[in-house]
């Protein structure tokens, strides 16, 4: 099941998954309203939906034109749909006007309330929260209804799983739900009633799946994200009143956004392409010069934004692990494979001329080596999953860290392996599993087997496996297989990095 889920979700771009989930919820909501299973007026929903979406798209288009950027259609549609689910649906002019204004404020905030090209607040939350202060329309979170909860739970799970944010979701849900249930019981409520209200008749799951999880308003490191999730859960669940401010889910999220912003790279990353090189058959390395000093840790990844004509379903944004060392100078490199039938994004990326400018939305990731350099390591790379290890080994070599590293290179290729020169120069012990001819391997490298990595060969070649901190990177299906093999042979600490949707 996990393999199927990884493979299926990996082929769906994140924006497409979120947009598709919201579209399904919108259709289901209207259908359920027509048969009387949810309280909302079906005709009010039919009137409110196009207003929310059209004004979001229009404001995004205008804002992008003003700042000379290209509007992101999927993002605009998502913002409009979120406003639709939060604001009270209406057939009255003032109610429809409030929805139009909420969508306009939400979309405009991406450009107006931004720092160096990066928006600070969740746009839909900000657009809806304005109407606590404006005497027309109001947020009702009508989406929090029992008949929609099964679809909401499935969609939220898929989104959190796809983004590897299940820990964030669980932290928020467990803490917020526990507090709400405890408060209900303290006020004389029944346990069954408390659980039912918390999980089936509230916005809890929708909130965490579609709003708290928004990537651009989350900090880069895991401990930072969990801290924000805990803070938002407390503000979400505990009633408070401070002057004109009082407890509300939208306010909880906006305050969490501020804290996350303090942790985050607070600007759009602008870079110029300086080099495009095929470093192995079908494997390309692109090198960029950031316009400003850029800080990251070896093993982290970057999201590139590349608007291009006729993008395919995988969209105009893509994550790439940084393959160069943080201290390699004023450049940053990414490395990826590009088959003959490649995505429109990779084709557009490879078609860029030297000197072309490219934007990135941020740097994230916790796939970093331990600070203690004396800890023995086992790095296991499946195919192009070797890229974070290239960055880490290069960084360690530049700093003369003298780490005890064994690199397992699992490949299906008979061609030259990427980063061979780097690993040889750094003196890393490398074991190859795959169809590589022994005579083609650099001196000192070992061929574990000509097929898939197997436990017997692994145990013989790495007898101290149980004492090593293992790092495993590659496509999800391969990572799952290799992780099982490592565990069966004594590995106790395994840190994984999935190239989902790569």
Same domain, residue pair 164 and 255 = yes
Between 464 and 340, residue with greater pLDDT: 464
| pTM passes above 0.85 | no
- The pLDDT value given to residue 412: 82
- The pLDDT value given to residue 498: 66
Mean pLDDT of the chain: 88
Whether 502 shows a pLDDT value over 70: the answer reads no
Same domain, residue pair 184 and 286 = no
Domain count, the chain: 3
Instruction: Provide the 10 A C-beta neighbour count for residue 186.
Output: 9
Strand partners, 408: 380, 431
In-domain check, residue 372 = no
Between 451 and 168, residue with greater pLDDT: 168
The predicted-structure confidence for 67-98, as pLDDT tens digits, reads as follows 776 777 888 999 999 999 999 999 999 999 99
Same domain, residue pair 214 and 281 = no
Boundary of a domain, candidates 263, 285, 317: 263
Q: Cα torsion for 302, 387, 496, 296, to the nearest 10°?
A: -40
* 117 CB-near residues (< 8 Å, 6+ apart): 267, 268, 359
Whether 345 shows a pLDDT value over 50: the answer reads yes
Handedness of CA 277, 279, 283, 286 (dihedral sign): negative
Same domain, residue pair 396 and 454 = yes
The predicted-structure confidence for 261-281, as pLDDT tens digits, reads as follows 888 755 678 899 999 999 888
DSSP state, 471? Answer: E
In-domain check, residue 205 = yes
Structure tokens at 305: 């934004």
Whether 497 shows a pLDDT value over 50: the answer reads yes
Same domain, residue pair 208 and 302 = no
pLDDT band (50, 70, 90) for residue 295: confident
- The pLDDT value given to residue 267: 66
Whether 314 shows a pLDDT value over 80: the answer reads no
Same domain, residue pair 89 and 237 = yes
pLDDT band (50, 70, 90) for residue 328: low
The CATH number of residue 289's host domain is 2.40.30.10
- The pLDDT value given to residue 73: 84
Between 209 and 217, residue with greater pLDDT: 209
In-domain check, residue 358 = yes
Same domain, residue pair 30 and 101 = yes
> Are the CB atoms for 218 and 228 separated by under 8 Å?
yes
Give me the mean pLDDT over the 2-30 stretch: 85
In-domain check, residue 371 = no
Whether 21 shows a pLDDT value over 90: the answer reads yes
* 406 CB-near residues (< 8 Å, 6+ apart): 376, 377, 378, 379, 428, 429, 430, 431, 462, 468
Provide the residue range defining the domain that includes 144: 2-263
The predicted-structure confidence for 137-160, as pLDDT tens digits, reads as follows 789 999 999 999 999 999 999 999
Residue 273, burial from CB neighbour count under 10 angstroms (0-12, 13-18, 19+): middle
Determine the Cα–Cα distance for residues 194 and 202; give it in Å rounded to an integer.
Answer: 11
Whether 410 shows a pLDDT value over 80: the answer reads yes
In-domain check, residue 73 = yes
pLDDT band (50, 70, 90) for residue 474: confident
Boundary of a domain, candidates 263, 290, 324: 263
Same domain, residue pair 451 and 474 = yes
The predicted-structure confidence for 234-271, as pLDDT tens digits, reads as follows 999 999 888 878 889 999 999 999 998 888 755 678 89
Handedness of CA 113, 115, 117, 122 (dihedral sign): negative
Give me the mean pLDDT over the 444-462 stretch: 84
Give me the mean pLDDT over the 94-121 stretch: 85
Alpha helices in 207-321 (DSSP H): 222-237, 249-263
- The pLDDT value given to residue 134: 77
> Are the CB atoms for 165 and 226 separated by under 8 Å?
no
Give me the mean pLDDT over the 51-67 stretch: 89
Boundary of a domain, candidates 236, 263, 290: 263
Same domain, residue pair 349 and 454 = no
In-domain check, residue 369 = no
Same domain, residue pair 255 and 310 = no
How many Cα atoms occupy the beta-carbon half-sphere of 165 within 13 Å?
Answer: 30
In-domain check, residue 130 = yes
Structure tokens at 346: 């990779």
352's torsion region: left (phi>0), alpha (psi -120 to 50) or beta?
Answer: beta
- The pLDDT value given to residue 292: 85
Lowest-confidence segment of 141-155, 219-233, 342-356, 436-450 by average pLDDT: 436-450
Structure tokens at 339: 């088959």
Same domain, residue pair 104 and 146 = yes
Determine the Cα–Cα distance for residues 386 and 394; give it in Å rounded to an integer.
Answer: 12
The CATH number of residue 407's host domain is 3.40.50.80
- The pLDDT value given to residue 256: 94
Between 128 and 452, residue with greater pLDDT: 128
- The pLDDT value given to residue 501: 47
SS3 278: strand
In-domain check, residue 370 = no
End-to-end CA gap in the chain: 20
* Distance from chain centroid for Cα 138: 31
Same domain, residue pair 36 and 145 = yes
Structure tokens at 402: 């003298």
Q: Which residue has the tokens 């061929």?
A: 447
Strand partners, 429: 406
CA angle 262, 64, 68 (to 5 degrees): 100
SS3 502: coil
Secondary structure element (H or E) that encloses residue 253, with its range = helix 249-263
* 329 CB-near residues (< 8 Å, 6+ apart): none
Alpha helices in 11-92 (DSSP H): 14-34, 42-66, 73-86
């Amino acid at each position: 099941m996990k393999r199927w889920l990884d493979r299926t979700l990996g082929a769906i771009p994140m924006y497409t998954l979120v947009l598709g989930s919201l579209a399904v919820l919108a259709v289901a909501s209207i259908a359920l309203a027509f048969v009387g299973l949810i309280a909302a007026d079906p005709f009010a929903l039919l009137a409110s939906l196009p207003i929310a979406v059209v004004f979001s798209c229009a404001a995004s288009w205008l804002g992008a034109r003003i700042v000379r950027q290209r509007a992101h259609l999927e993002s605009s549609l998502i913002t409009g749909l979120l406003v639709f689910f939060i604001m009270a649906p209406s057939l009255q002019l003032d109610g429809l006007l409030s929805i139009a204004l909420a969508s306009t404020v939400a979309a405009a905030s991406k450009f107006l309330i931004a720092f160096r090209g990066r928006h600070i607040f969740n746009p839909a939350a900000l657009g809806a929260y304005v109407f606590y202060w404006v005497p027309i329309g109001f947020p009702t979170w009508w989406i929090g209804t029992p008949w929609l909860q099964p679809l909401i739970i499935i969609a939220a799970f898929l989104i959190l799983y796809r983004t590897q944010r299940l820990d964030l979701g669980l932290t928020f849900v467990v803490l917020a739900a526990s507090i709400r249930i405890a408060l209900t019981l303290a006020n004389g409520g029944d346990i069954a009633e408390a659980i039912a209200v918390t999980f089936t008749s509230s916005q809890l799951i929708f909130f965490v799946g579609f709003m708290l999880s928004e990537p651009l308003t989350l900090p880069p490191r895991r401990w930072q994200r969990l801290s924000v999730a805990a803070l938002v859960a407390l503000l979400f669940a505990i009633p408070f009143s401070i002057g004109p401010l009082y407890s509300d889910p939208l306010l909880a999220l906006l305050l969490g956004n501020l804290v996350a912003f303090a942790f985050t790279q607070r600007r759009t990353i602008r870079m110029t392409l300086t080099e495009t090189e095929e470093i192995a058959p079908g494997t390309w390395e692109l090198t960029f010069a950031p316009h400003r000093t850029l800080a990251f840790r070896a093993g982290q990844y970057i999201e590139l934004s590349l608007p291009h004509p006729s993008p395919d379903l995988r969209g105009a944004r893509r994550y790439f692990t940084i393959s160069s060392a943080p201290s390699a100078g004023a450049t940053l490199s990414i490395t990826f494979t590009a088959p003959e039938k490649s995505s429109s994004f990779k084709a557009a990326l490879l078609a860029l001329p030297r000197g072309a400018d490219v934007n990135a939305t941020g740097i994230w990731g916790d796939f970093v080596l331990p600070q203690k350099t004396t800890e023995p390591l086992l790095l296991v790379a499946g195919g192009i999953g070797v890229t974070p290890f290239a960055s880490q080994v290069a960084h360690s070599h530049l700093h003369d860290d003298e780490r005890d590293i064994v690199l397992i290179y699992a490949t299906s290729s008979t061609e030259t392996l990427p980063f061979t020169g780097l690993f040889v120069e750094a003196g890393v012990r490398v074991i190859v599993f795959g169809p590589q001819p022994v005579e083609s391997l650099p001196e000192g490298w070992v061929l574990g087997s000509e097929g898939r990595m197997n436990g017997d060969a692994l145990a013989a070649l790495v007898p101290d496996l149980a004492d090593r901190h293992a790092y495993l990177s590659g496509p999800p299906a391969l990572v799952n297989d290799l992780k099982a093999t490592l565990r069966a042979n004594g590995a106790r600490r395994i840190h994984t990095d999935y190239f989902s949707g790569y």
